[in-house]
Structure 1
Amino acid sequence: MAAKKILMLTGEFSEEYEIFVFEQAMQAVGHTVHVVCPDKKAGEVIKTSLHDFEGHQTYTEKPGHDHFASKTFSEVRPEDYDAVYCAGGRGPEYIRIDKRVQAIVRHFHETGKPIFTICHGVQILIAVDGVVRGREVAALQYCEPEVTLAGGIYVDVPPTGAHVDGNLVSAKGWPGLAAFMRECLKVLGTEIRHGELQMTGKAQAA
């Protein structure tokens, strides 16, 4: 399997887990992930947030760790990437109205390349006509009306689950990252094989 290039769309105060965990897991298996944010240059700070579920009527939001853009947004060429990933959190709410972000998503939709979305990331897809129409998609439950109004079919997966509809992989939020990334890897054609642990030296003697 050839390594893939994934473009991650974020905005300030996107969910930190959905940035950091996805990026590092994909890098661990050899894929390249470029984290971009509108009008940010490579190396500039992207502020993130941490959303948690603490027994209130809705989630809480706290400051997350700073991330750094790994590529200058104005230099992004979507045709250079094999997949696009829309991280969730608060970022999607405002970057979805950016015409440049919409054009990037439209490229992946029209070319049939993999599209990954988690939590509020679906708001970015909804902003581009036709992307979710007729498609099954998971997202945080508060996005269900938007998905339905855009012609999509909202799928209420468990918090730790994920859903696949062709080239579209989606999940409810960061508790589902393990299942979500597993399905993303399948869509990318990534195969992970587990072999016997090879022990040497003192470990063998023990």
Structure 2
Amino acid sequence: MKIVIINYGAGNIQSIMFAIERLGFHAVLSNDPDEIKAADKVIFPGVGEASYAMKMLKESGLDTLIPTLAQPVFGICLGMQLMCNYSEEGNTKGLGIFDVDVVKFTSKVKVPQMGWNQIYNLKSDLFKGIAENEYMYLVHSFYAPLCAETIATTNYELEYSSALENENFYGTQFHPEKSGDVGERILGNFLKL
């Protein structure tokens, strides 16, 4: 199986590669459109600021490529947020894969949300064998509100989408690669889709 992690200068790549290796697979890092198109599975990582990350995607033409991919694609953290219509962070137009806008937590809570929180209302093969209310690791100041494409929910000040799915596109706000055995099982489920 050919697994490609999209390389566009947005962090958390090493920990994803290690997690995939622990699952017995090998991933390549690439921003080559042909290599990405030829992959069986594509992982779209992200740590950083939305407008800068989108600028990097545009410079390599990946902003037009990603929405056209037909194989399973997994956006993680900022990767998931960039797959939405729009983000308040840096007033950023997204890729429009998930029909929801990303907004900022209010000042009533500590921002960023950093650490472990529960996921529940799980509704996808991505969560096969995963119990309700498992804890996942999150670091974020912006979130996708609940919408028709929500497949997992987390509560921090309010309920929001901790995972989204639209056809062959999946996204998690949490970091499966930093969420222990349960997170690795979710990555493994994605690789089996």
User: TM class, shorter-chain normalised?
Assistant: 0.5 to 0.7
Question: Which has the larger helix fraction?
Answer: 1
Say whether residues 1:101 and 2:95 are aligned partners.
no
Q: In structure 2, do the counterparts of structure 1 residues 104 and 30 end up closer, same or farther at CA, with 3 Å as the change threshold?
A: farther
The one-letter code sitting in structure 1 at the alignment partner of 2:21 is: Q
RMSD of aligned Cα (Å): 3.9
Q: Pick the aligned partner of 2:174 from 172, 175, 178.
A: 172
- Partner residue in 2 for 1:35: 29
Q: Tell me, which stretches of 5 or more residues in structure 1 are unaligned?
A: 37-72, 191-206
Runs of 4+ in 1 over 6 A off after TM superposition: none
Letter in 2 for 1:8: I
Amino acid at match of 1:88: G
* Residues 147-188 of structure 1 deviation map (CA, whole Å, 9 limit, x = unaligned): 3499854954389xx747464142423643643331121132
Structure 1 residue 23, shift from structure 2 partner: 0.5
Range with bigger deviation, 169-178 or 93-102: 169-178
Name 1:83's counterpart in structure 2: 41
TM-score, structure 1 as length reference: 0.51
C-alpha distance in structure 1 between counterparts of 2:41 and 2:50, whole Å: 18
Q: TM-score, normalised by structure 2?
A: 0.53
| Structure with greater strand percent | 2
Aligned-residue offset at 1:116: 1.5
Q: Residue 152 of structure 2 contacts residue 164 of structure 2 at CA under 8 Å; is this kept in 1?
A: no
Summarize the Cα distance change of 1:76–1:28 in structure 2 as closer, same or farther, 3 Å threshold: farther
CA distance in 2, matches of 1:154, 1:120: 17
Give deviations 1:91-142, integer Å, cap 9, x for gaps: 654232433122231122xx2x22212222223312212x1127x8x97552
Aligned to 2:98: 132
Cα distance change, pair 189–152 in 1 and its aligned pair in 2 (3 A): closer
Unpaired stretches in structure 2, ≥5 consecutive residues:
85-93, 101-122, 124-135, 157-161
**Count of matched residue positions in the alignment of Structure 1 and Structure 2:** 139
Counterpart for residue 2 of structure 2: 5
Aligned partners of 1:23 and 1:33 also within 8 Å: yes
Q: Aligned pair in 2 of structure 1 residues 123, 76: CA closer, same or farther (>3 Å)?
A: farther
Aligned to 1:182: 185
> Structure 2 CA distance, aligned partners of 1:177 and 1:93?
30
Summarize the alignment of residues 49-88 of structure 1 with structure 2, pairs less than 5 Å apart: 73-74=31-32, 76-88=34-46
**Cα displacement (A) at 1:80:** 0.7
8 Å CA contact 2:20, 2:26 repeated in 1: yes
CA distance in 2, matches of 1:33, 1:10: 12
In structure 1, the partner of 2:118 is none
**Distance (Å, rounded) in 1 between the aligned partners of 2:51 and 2:183:** 21
